[in-house]
Amino acid sequence: MSPVVAVIAPGAMGAAVGKRLSDNGLMVLTSLDGRSEETRARAKAAGMTAAKDGDIARADFILSILPPGDALSLAQRFVPALTASNAKPVYVDCNAINPKTVDRVAAAIAPSECPFVDAGIIGQPPKPGDAGPRIYASGAAAPRFAALRDYGLDIRVLDGEMSAASALKMSYAGITKGTQAIGAAMMLAATRAGSADALMAELQLSQKEMLAWLKRQLTMMPPKAYRWVAEMQEIAGFVGDDPAARELYEGAAEFYERFAEDFAAGKKDAAALAAFLSKTSS
């Protein structure tokens, strides 16, 4: 029989993953208690079925896809239902959390006796016609999770520590989203200093590939900045043994937090960034 998969929650990534699974013939459950009408509509469009915690605990897999700050609380919420369930679904934490947080989530799930998988998603939400993001997975139960390859997910099992997938995710996001924070900060600083035209001209002359990448990424960044605050904090914890690196990512978290606050209020910084990115050489 085909597995039943629960995906929590139906945000941009969760709903897209849910749709990929439902499009490939699976029953996909989700939790909509207390969620907005927008979220409910997104779940419906993805072919996801609203379910109570007890029903979700009888699924074959539970995929936790949330802002990283919510990963532990979701696991704690489901422990009573999972403990009572005879199904013992594979609990897959797909969130952008560091290995120490993974250990805490795994420890929270352990009393339920459900298998635990650490996973890290790299790439954009799946769309029709593409392979979707890579979902790296680690831990003893990761090969069981890899069975969802048959239903449209690009799952890649890693050897090594149980939290190997999150270590990869932290490293990758530290490079990509950390670089975006630096790029955006310098573009805004140049704008404030009156040297935006000169900076753009020099980037076009000497850093064409970097500029092209920053244009693609930073055009999409503003509405996501609020979600990256906790992710940068998780990365700061990941590099915590290096004080200078920790401060670097704590600073990136503060940058994204301030940018997100401005985006919610008046979008002044987002407008300035967009103006810089739209400049062309004279």
Residue 42 resides in a domain: yes
280 pLDDT higher than 90: no
Looking at the structure, do residues 39 and 54 belong to the same domain, yes or no? yes
Q: In terms of DSSP H, where are the helices of the chain?
A: 12-23, 37-45, 53-56, 71-84, 99-109, 142-145, 164-193, 196-206, 208-220, 225-238, 243-265, 268-277
Residue pLDDT, tens place only, 159-188: 999 999 999 999 999 999 999 999 999 999
**Last residue of some domain: 161, 194, 222?**
161
Residue 40 resides in a domain: yes
Mean pLDDT of 215-231: 96
User: What pTM did the predictor assign?
Assistant: 0.94
Mean pLDDT for the chain overall: 97
Beta bridge partners, 64, equal 8, 93
Structure confidence at residue 66 as a pLDDT band (50, 70, 90): very high
Looking at the structure, do residues 115 and 141 belong to the same domain, yes or no? yes
Looking at the structure, do residues 157 and 171 belong to the same domain, yes or no? no
Residue 249 resides in a domain: yes
SS3 50: strand
Residue 175 domain boundaries: 167-277
Distance, in Å, from the CA atom of 135 to the CA atom of 214, rounded to the nearest integer, reads: 24
Mean pLDDT of 10-23: 97
Looking at the structure, do residues 97 and 212 belong to the same domain, yes or no? no
Looking at the structure, do residues 145 and 40 belong to the same domain, yes or no? yes
Structure confidence at residue 281 as a pLDDT band (50, 70, 90): low
Looking at the structure, do residues 172 and 219 belong to the same domain, yes or no? yes
State residue 155's pLDDT score: 98
Count how many domains the chain has. 2
Residue 282 resides in a domain: no
- 9 cis-preceded (ω within 30 degrees of 0): yes
Spell out the residues 6+ positions from residue 185 whose beta carbon is closer than 8 angstroms to its own: 255
Residue 149 resides in a domain: yes
State residue 183's pLDDT score: 98
Instruction: Supply the CATH number for residue 39's domain.
Output: 3.40.50.720
Looking at the structure, do residues 97 and 183 belong to the same domain, yes or no? no
34 pLDDT higher than 90: no
Residue 221 phi/psi, 5° resolution? -70, -45
Span between the terminal Cα atoms of the chain, in Å: 63
Residue 65 resides in a domain: yes
Looking at the structure, do residues 139 and 31 belong to the same domain, yes or no? yes
**Last residue of some domain: 135, 161, 187?**
161
**Last residue of some domain: 133, 161, 189?**
161
